[in-house]
Amino acid sequence: MSYIDWLLVFFGVPLLIFWVMDPSIFVKYRKIILRIWVGSIVFAYPWDLLAISHKAWTFPKGLSGIGFLGLPLEEWLWGFLFSLIITYLTLYLLKHSAHDR
Predicted confidence (pLDDT) at residue 101 exceeds the cutoff of 60 = no
Distance CA 45, CA 51 (A): 10
Q: Which of 22-26, 49-53, 96-100 has the lowest mean pLDDT?
A: 96-100
Q: Tell me: the pLDDT tens digits for 1-24? A: 788 899 999 999 999 999 999 999
Spans of all domains in the chain: 3-99
| Environment class of 8 (CB within 10 Å of its CB; exposed 0-12, middle 13-18, buried 19+) | middle
Residue 71's H or E segment, with its range, is: strand 71-72
The residues facing 36 across adjacent strands are none
C-beta of residue 74 within 8 angstroms of C-beta of residue 64: yes
Q: Tell me: the pLDDT tens digits for 74-90? A: 888 998 999 999 999 99
Distance CA 83, CA 81 (A): 5
Helix (H, G, I), strand (E, B) or coil at 56: coil
C-beta of residue 88 within 8 angstroms of C-beta of residue 32: no
Measured in degrees and rounded to the nearest 5, phi and psi for residue 99 equal -75, -25
| 63 confidence band (pLDDT: 50, 70, 90) | confident
